[in-house]
Every structure is written in structure tokens, then in C-alpha cells.
Chain A
């Protein structure tokens, strides 16, 4: 956690705006700011969590990291190099270094392809695999499915012949075809049953240990985030509102939104009445972001300042860890009002 470690992946003032188009690509509609001025650093070997509710921009951010969509402004740096600069070679290297795992185990596998064809789509991009004999190729594929805990007999199956958990394992194997360093996982267990969820999460941990992977793990499920992540960024309406180690975030949340999120999670242990005052209001539409602090209409601690001034993501005052960040006027090193209990 020292500053000496260079981030493997980082973003700088990254933003993505969508224009809701009216007539087939012509004419302007409302502007939706899905990701708004996001700067993060992901360290090699860590699991960096992105957590937030629907419309917070976490999936858009994930796709920006992979350059699957163009940012409106800002940049993404992979090992210090801007991923938008560079030629076809650089782009190929980006694909090999970073891969994605999707949420929906149904729509993320091509129904017309057998598992072997799905894996081949990645392998054919590798110069060393594309020229291999059929036998060597089969061996490579067997190894891949073995890595995700499935036998070689799965290579001949169609996606509809697999269970949700098996499909998700194939999705993981596909991401591993190019031996990437970083995997962006977008809600990879949300569509699975609880008992299957825990197995797939364990597979993630297992693969990280064996292959030295770095994960950007996107989820709306706080317990999953807590189970898997080293550091976590909480997103709300396109912004990061708090960043901390998982331990700190869950034991000592600082931003009112983080507190609300944690209070809202149903827990077996607690059973205690939850802070209803914390969890109020509706999520505003991303096309109509409130002025000032975007959380102020829902915040029980709202101050006059919050209605006019957008808080910046700043390090917390000591003794908090230096990479502990929050965007809240209450936590400003020089608060204008005392912090409520």
C-alpha cells in the first residue's frame, strides 16, 4: 500500500457522456453523464472493487477501462501508457493484457457456438496458438476448462446444455484464453444462485493466487465485495464518493451514502432495526443530476453548502490512511459544521 508501487491500471479525470438520441442517430436528446471525472489507481495483484446501485456508472467505467467504449474526456493508463494512443499492435497488447467477464451467463455466451468455438475465438488471436496442430489446440483448451474446474467433455457442449454456474466458468475461461494480467469482472455472480455464487467467488480467489491476476470487480452486492476485494470505491451517479480498504469501508464507513448502503444490506447476524433515516429517497435519473453534491437530496446530514458546492474527492484527515478518500463536505478537513453523531 505504499506509494512506491506503481499502479498497473489508472484513470485520470475519466468521463463518459451519452446523448439520448431521438431519431436514428440524428437530433439531440438529454445528456446522460454516466461516468463523471473519475480518477482511480489499481495496484498490481489487488482486487479493486467498484460498488454502487444501478445507474451509478460502474459498468460504464468497467467498459471504459477496457476501451470497449470511447471516453468523452480523460484517459486510461495501462502500465503508465495511455490506452487510446498507439497503433494496432498496442491495441492487441491491450486486449491480451485486459479481459472482461460479464454478468449474464445466458447472453454472454454465443448460443450457436460450442464451448470449443467460444474458446477458439480468443485463441485464434494468439499467433502462437493459431498455427498449432489440432491436438495441441485441444490440449490448450482442455487446460483452460480445467483451470475453471471443468472437464474436457465440456468442450463439445453448447451453452444451453450448461447450468448457470458452468456457463459463468466458461465465461471466465474465455477471458483467460489470452493469459491476461487484469480482469474486469462486471457483476459476475449476480445472476447465480447463492450456493453457486460462493463457488464461483472461490474460483476467482483461486485463479488470482495461481495466475497472479489483478481484478477490477464490479458489483452491487456489498457482501460479495467485502468477501473478495482489497480496496473498494463506492460510486454514486457517475462519481466516486468514497474509497477505502474493504476492511475500513465496512467497519467504519465515512460518506453518508456508504453508510446508507451498508445500513440497507439485509444481514443474518444483525436483525437489529436499521437506520431508516439514512436510507431515504429515490435514485435521481442520471440525466438530471442534482446541483451541488449529487447526494444531497437523499442525505440526512445535508447542509446549505451541499446544495451549491460539489464536494471533491479528498484524502481524509489523519489518522486515516493516506489512500482513504471521500467526497463529502462533512468530512472536509475544515468542516463548516460539527459532524453529527
Chain B
């Protein structure tokens, strides 16, 4: 972050960062919301005991918001507030883990095919195309049949499905960046290929990669909610927003609040991730770097 800010605005890195944040409002709003969500996920136990999220009280089922239950209750009378709070933990864990899988595999792959090109690129790209053509739901079903349903399967399915996109986007950034003469200068100084890719070029791709990661998190959140909605992700009683929505759909007439809170949580998280992604894109846009 600081490297990018400093690239824009000169000697004072901290001051530049401050100015950048003031200037890019969407980035700061998005980041603030994200930090709140992360804090809720980490500190869920301080807000409500986990017990609240899974203990049933059928007498209290499908109640709207009240002083006792801020977000109402579900069909088993579980406290929806606790479930949404603990759901943040599940959702963020799966999103982060799947983006991690996609990044660890996809980024080096994209960097190398973009830099090396030729036959290596042709072969790897065809393999990625095959993976890309594979529907994510099918992949998830395959994984579920092997390791059983659960968030681990969802992480792997989402992570693998995102590898081709990640690699392709990183590749195109690399292809553009390696046109610069400084890359040729490194070659003529005799630097090794690994050094050139990771030490020389990669620092200049941090901007696009950050954008990719933040949008990838948004995408993974939606995917994961979708898989849980289909019953392929988080299993009851583990609180998860998509799974909650899936059940709430049956009670939409009796208790619309049931669907509202998990739905709003997904919406706000995805929206703020997109804000961050857009903000980072503006911040690291090469057209703004020069001149």
C-alpha cells in the first residue's frame, strides 16, 4: 500500500497515504466496512456466546426483531443475531481460504506464462481453459462425494474454480508490464528469470493483484453462499449466510425478517469488497501514476 501511495505522491509516504484515502472515498468506506466485518468475525464470541447461535427454543420460532433477539429468530427459535454474527466467521473463512488457494496457484502460474510465453504458455493456457470450462457446481458435487459436504469442500471447489481467472488476469498484467524496457535492462544486466519475475516485475503488479484479490473475495462470498444455499457448503447447525437464506426462503411470507438479515449481510460485504476493488483500481491505475 505505502509503496503505491509513495509512487504517486513523493517523499512523504504517510502523508501521501492520508491524501489518497481522503481522495478515494469509496476505498475508505469499503475498507471501514470490511474492518468491521472482520472484527465481528474474529470477536464473535465476545458479542454472543456460540451457544446462542445453535441452541433451539421452538416456542420462540420465527419471531421478528425484538429486544431479546435483535434480528429475530429462525424456525427453531435460534437467535438470528448470533447466527449472523457467527455466519460472518464462516463466510469470511471460506472466502479467504478459497482466494488463498486461487492466489497461491494462480498468481505464480499467471506470472510465469505471461513472462515466458511460447509453447509453455500455450500448453498451460489450454489446461486452464479446460478447468475454466468445468462448472463450479459440478466441481463442488464431485468434491462433496469424495470428502462429504462441508465448508472444506466449498473452499476447495471455489478456490480451484478461481485459478484460471486469477492466472489469466495476472498473465495479462504481466504481458503488459514486461513490455517495459526496464525488464530488458534487467536481462542485459544478467539477472535470472526468477529474480526478474518476482523481484523486478512483481512489485509493479501489486496494484492489479490487490484489486484481483478484493474482487475475488466478493466473488467467493457469493459463490460460497450459493453453494450453501444448494446444500453443498456449510451444514446445519453451522451458521452460514447462504444456508440461512436458503431456509428463510420457505418462510418468506410468515417472517420476511428471517431472510432480510443474512441477505443484507451478504449484500453489504460484497458491496464493500467491490468498493475496495474499484478504489484500489483507481489508486493503482497506471494512467494516474504518470504526469
Contacts of A66 in B (CB 8 A): 188
Tell me if A13 counts as interface (CB < 8 A to partner B).
no
B266–chain A nearest beta-carbon distance, Å: 36
Task: Check A100 against B200 for contact (C-beta < 8 Å).
Answer: no
Instruction: Determine which residue in B125, B188, B203 has the highest number of CB atoms from chain A within 10 A of its CB, and name it.
Output: B188
- List 17 interface pairs A-B (beta carbons < 8 Å), by A numbering: A66-B188, A68-B188, A92-B190, A100-B188, A102-B181, A102-B184, A104-B181, A107-B180, A111-B289, A113-B200, A113-B203, A121-B186, A121-B200, A158-B6, A160-B290, A174-B185, A177-B189
Cα(A315)–Cα(B290), bound, Å = 49
Contact digits for B160-195, partner A, Cβ 8 Å, 1 yes 0 no: 000000000000000000011110111111110000
Chain B's closest residue to A104 (CB) is B181
Q: Is the Cβ of B7 less than 8 Å from the Cβ of A112? A: yes
Q: Which of B187, B200, B204 contacts A68 (CB 8 A)?
A: B187
Q: Does B119 contact A (CB under 8 A)?
A: yes
B92-133 interface code vs A (CB 8 A; 1 in, 0 out) = 000000000000000000000000011101100100000000
Q: Across the two chains, which residue of chain B brings its CB closest to A112?
A: B203
Whether A112 pairs with B121 at a CB distance below 8 angstroms is no
Tally chain A residues at the interface, Cβ within 8 Å: 32
Tell whether, in the assembled complex, residue A112 and residue B204 are in contact, meaning their CB atoms are under 8 Å apart.
yes
Q: Does B42 contact A (CB under 8 A)?
A: no
Complex Cα–Cα for A24 and B127 (A): 14
- Measured CB to CB, the residues of B under 8 A from A are 3, 6-7, 10-11, 117-119, 121-122, 125, 179-182, 184-191, 200, 203-204, 289-290
A110 touches B182 (CB 8 A): yes
* Residues of chain A at the chain B interface (Cβ within 8 Å): 24-26, 63, 66, 68, 91-92, 95, 99-100, 102-104, 106-113, 121-122, 125, 158, 160-161, 171, 174, 177-178
- What are the residues of chain A within 8 A of B200 when measuring CB–CB? 110, 113, 121
Contact of A103 among B179, B181, B186, B188 (CB under 8 A): B181
Interface SS of chain A: helix, strand, loop or mixed? loop
- Pairwise interchain contact A111-B185, C-beta atoms closer than 8 A: no
Query: A92 vs B191: C-alpha distance in the bound complex, in angstroms?
Result: 10
Residue of A63, A95, A110, A171 with most chain B CB atoms under a 10 A cut-off: A110
> Interface of chain B, helix or strand or loop or mixed?
helix
Specify which of B3, B119, B125, B180 lies most central, judged by the most chain A CB atoms within 10 Å of its CB: B180
B7 adjacent to A95 (CB under 8 Å): no
Residues of B contacting A160 in the complex (Cβ-Cβ under 8 angstroms): 7, 289-290
Which residue of A has the minimal Cβ distance to B119? Answer: A25
Which residue of A is nearest B188, CB measured? A100
Across the A-B interface, give the 8 residue pairs with the lowest CB-CB distance, nearest first.
A112-B203, A108-B181, A95-B190, A107-B180, A102-B181, A110-B182, A25-B122, A122-B189
List chain B residues, Cβ under 8 A from A99: 188-189
* Contact indicator B289/A121 (Cβ below 8 Å): no
Chain A minimum-CB-distance residue to B179? A107
Which residues of A sit under 8 angstroms from B180, Cβ to Cβ? 107-108, 110
Kindly list chain A residues whose C-beta atoms are within 8 Å of the C-beta of B191. Answer: 121, 125
Closest to B286 in A: A111
When the two chains form the complex, which single residue of B6, B122, B203, B204 contacts A24, counting CB atoms closer than 8 Å?
A: B122
For B121, the chain A residues whose CB sits under 8 A away are 24-25
Contact partner of A107 among B6, B118, B182, CB < 8 A? Answer: B182
Q: What chain A residues lie within 8 Å of B289 (beta carbons)? A: 111, 160
